[in-house]
Structure 1
Amino acid sequence: MTDISAAQLVVSRSAADTSSRTRLAYLDGWRGLSIALVLIGHFFPIPGINLGVMGVEFFFVLSGRLMAEILFVERYPLKAFFKRRFSRIYPALLVFVVASMVALSGTFVAFKWKAALTALTFTYNYAGILVSRAGALDHIWSLCVEEHAYVILALISFFVSGRARVVMLLSTLSVLAMANGAISYWVFAMDYETTYWRTDVHIASILLSAVICLLKADDRLPALFKGPHVAVAASVGAVLLFMDAVPTPIHYLVAVPLLALAVNSLDFSTRYLTGLLSCWPMATLGLWSYSLYLWQQPFYKFVYSQGSAPLLMLAGAFACALCSYYIVEKPARGWLNRNW
């Protein structure tokens, strides 16, 4: 899963202001927790709960918070915003897709070039339902949702003035997206992927978190949600509601809003929680999370389809991800940011 730099404003700034941002290690730790849930859910599944699906939601609500800060609080220049998003996302994605095409063509995965093309054009979450898909790329649906959210939020930041109007619009879009998902799943009996891979449904996770972030920035968040234990309580509630026994639409109607509240309430949390998330293993895992998210999928498919040793496959995923991070993702981002 892609990410925005886990940082928060010290003070609001205009586009012309060059104030520095203070990096919050516990947000990197939240991202580390997100990828840990995905890896556990894929390689060492726990009966009764899909930790992989839940881990993706942890990613989404964090992205919603950070995009709201960057686009609506900081008013970061859109040209620079998209350049930094491209430098962060595309080099590693391109190398992953090309390497997967070369390595997996002719194997049991039956790699498909059409699927690769839709992955590189961020249309996989719709094309994978309607046209063509490949198991090694199925996780790209979530990256597509996030990229679409970047564009939608950037357009809103450009065309809509006034924080109150933005909050009202984002709230309305969130409700419509959640209702769309519930109706698709319950009324039209669509399966999980046909319903929740779609941006017009799943963008609610990102938008809800953005709404809560903006309410917090304007000091309009109710005092009840600013307590030191809100993040823990909301997270625990969300985890319980993500159990398989709970109907799938409830995950997105109730559990995801709780996660959105949790990630935005970390600023008010106890030092124990933020300290735990800020510890070196969690924060470092967060830094590696995008490359890990890209590369875990083919290895997970080997476990799922071939019964390969999960621990060995997980080690392979880590090896490829670390090569991706240190050889491709980090150097490419640095070079592009310096020279573009």
Structure 2
Amino acid sequence: MSEISATHLVPSRAIADRSARTRLAYLDGWRGLSIALVLIGHFFPIPGINLGVLGVEFFFVLSGRLMAEILFIERYPLKKFFKRRFSRIYPALLVFVVLAMIALSATFIAFKWKAAVTALTFTYNYAGILLNRAGALDHIWSLCIEEHAYIILAAISAIVASRSRVIPLLLVLAALAMANGALSYWFLHMDYETTYWRTDVHIASILLSAAICLLKADGKLPSLLTGPYVAVAAAAGAVFLFMDAVPTPIHYLVAVPLLAIAVNALDFSTRFLSGWLSSLPMTTLGLWSYSLYLWQQPFYKFVYEQGSNPWPMLVGVFACALCSYYLIERPAREWLNRNW
């Protein structure tokens, strides 16, 4: 009797490992869905909704959840955390910026070394607003916000020891950032980029998702948000609220919180949803997502501003991204993680 009870109460290592793999698989699938939305929005836009912008929000809320798990739940050593972030992000970014600067030098989206420096120092989101923009690098604003969020969340994890204090702090900071965005857009009449490219505004997506993740980990998430259909319902509501007809600040005041709920509610979702996100096509897209995101921008500019046929441009995106992933991103990450 005790052996049977123990078997039921304490899962075997194989079951635990399988559970972890499934969890990682559907989060990879969420990442795959994110990049799919970006690619559809950029190369095959659907009237009435900017799927490219929506896809970025899918990325942001996933980052918030993952950073909360790594920094506040697992308590990953900060030195190792930043090494892993560097090995994951920087080699592929460096190669992209250098090759793009060379390859695009004779095109309408050529950019100079100053723009390259702002991309490589993760200051482009502010430099693009205050100084000058480079169309081939315009997507780097979102990467800048992610990197800034890593630093801010790491600092909070180092300074604030009690998780009971971390959660309200994250919620307050997220609320302030959201209010900052609404104030900038509605009352100061700033345009979209001047408002929502800024870390002091857009970090709300990441912080809010991190806070919800910690509430879930502490068992404090309302039962209403743990149902099997919450993830689908919340994501669907967010998509609806991202329609062009909805005022832009509402996207970030209401739709983004729904996405933050959705990505954290995946743990309770139906087998159909988790199975679909865990499918090979979705997880493969997720693995390639960073390189795809880097390389889609120049090709997108040719489609959007020059009217180029989107299909060969999309083929070019995948060709460059797969070379980036298999020749740069993955080998560099593995080598640095092993030797640094």
Q: One fold, TM greater than 0.5?
A: yes
| Residue 223 (structure 1) shift | 0.3
Query: What is aligned with 1:220?
Result: 220
DSSP-derived class of the 1:22 partner: helix
Query: Which whole-Å deviations, capped at 9, do the CAs of 1:273-320 have from their partners, x for residues lacking one?
Result: 000000000000000000000000000001111111101100000000
Query: Which whole-Å deviations, capped at 9, do the CAs of 1:130-184 have from their partners, x for residues lacking one?
Result: 1122000000000000000000000000000111100011011000000000000
Query: Which whole-Å deviations, capped at 9, do the CAs of 1:202-246 have from their partners, x for residues lacking one?
Result: 000000000000000000000000000000000000000000000
Query: Which whole-Å deviations, capped at 9, do the CAs of 1:71-124 have from their partners, x for residues lacking one?
Result: 000000000000000000000000000000100112111312211110000000
Query: What is aligned with 1:22?
Result: 20
- The runs of 5 or more residues in structure 2 that have no matched partner are 1-9, 12-16
Q: Decide which structure has greater helix share.
A: 2
Q: Could you list the runs of 4 or more consecutive aligned residues of structure 1 that deviate by over 4 angstroms after TM superposition?
A: none
Closer, same or farther: CA 136–162 of 1 in aligned 2, 3 Å = same
| 2-structure distance, mates of 1:100, 1:270 | 42
Query: What is aligned with 1:15?
Result: none
Query: What is aligned with 1:5?
Result: none
Structure 2 counterpart of 1:276, one-letter code: W
Q: TM-score by structure 1 length? A: 0.94
- The runs of 5 or more residues in structure 1 that have no matched partner are 1-9, 12-18
Where in structure 2 are the equivalents of 1:190-339 lying within 5 Å? 190-339=190-339
| 2-structure distance, mates of 1:152, 1:48 | 35
DSSP-derived class of the 1:61 partner: helix
Structure 1 counterpart of 2:40, one-letter code: I
| 2-structure distance, mates of 1:72, 1:328 | 30
Would you say the 8 A contact 2:101–2:110 is kept in 1? Answer: no
Match status 1:146 vs 2:142: no
Would you say the 8 A contact 1:72–1:163 is kept in 2? Answer: yes
DSSP-derived class of the 1:106 partner: coil
Match status 1:55 vs 2:60: no
Closer, same or farther: CA 158–21 of 1 in aligned 2, 3 Å = farther
Question: Aligned pairs, how many?
Answer: 324
DSSP-derived class of the 2:246 partner: coil
| 1-structure distance, mates of 2:148, 2:132 | 20
Would you say the 8 A contact 1:112–1:133 is kept in 2? Answer: no
Would you say the 8 A contact 1:288–1:321 is kept in 2? Answer: yes
DSSP-derived class of the 2:109 partner: coil
Structure 1 counterpart of 2:325, one-letter code: Y
Structure 1 counterpart of 2:88, one-letter code: R
Where in structure 2 are the equivalents of 1:106-117 lying within 5 Å? 106-117=106-117
| 2-structure distance, mates of 1:107, 1:42 | 19
| 1-structure distance, mates of 2:120, 2:153 | 21
Would you say the 8 A contact 1:226–1:268 is kept in 2? Answer: yes
| 1-structure distance, mates of 2:338, 2:95 | 21
| 1-structure distance, mates of 2:84, 2:102 | 28
Larger Rg: 2
| Residue 22 (structure 1) shift | 2.6
| 1-structure distance, mates of 2:339, 2:133 | 35
| Residue 21 (structure 1) shift | 9.6
| 1-structure distance, mates of 2:106, 2:314 | 23
| 1-structure distance, mates of 2:175, 2:269 | 28
| 2-structure distance, mates of 1:157, 1:247 | 35
Q: TM-score by structure 2 length? A: 0.94
| 2-structure distance, mates of 1:103, 1:234 | 42
| 2-structure distance, mates of 1:322, 1:33 | 17
Would you say the 8 A contact 2:93–2:294 is kept in 1? Answer: yes
Where in structure 2 are the equivalents of 1:109-188 lying within 5 Å? 109-188=109-188
Where in structure 2 are the equivalents of 1:49-128 lying within 5 Å? 49-128=49-128
Would you say the 8 A contact 1:67–1:210 is kept in 2? Answer: yes
Structure 2 counterpart of 1:93, one-letter code: L
Would you say the 8 A contact 1:112–1:132 is kept in 2? Answer: no
| 2-structure distance, mates of 1:275, 1:53 | 26
**Farther-moved stretch of structure 1 (98-107 vs 287-296):** 98-107
DSSP-derived class of the 2:203 partner: helix
**Farther-moved stretch of structure 1 (110-119 vs 147-156):** 110-119
| 1-structure distance, mates of 2:52, 2:313 | 16
| 2-structure distance, mates of 1:252, 1:164 | 26
Structure 2 counterpart of 1:71, one-letter code: L
Would you say the 8 A contact 1:32–1:284 is kept in 2? Answer: yes
Closer, same or farther: CA 143–21 of 1 in aligned 2, 3 Å = farther
Would you say the 8 A contact 1:109–1:136 is kept in 2? Answer: yes
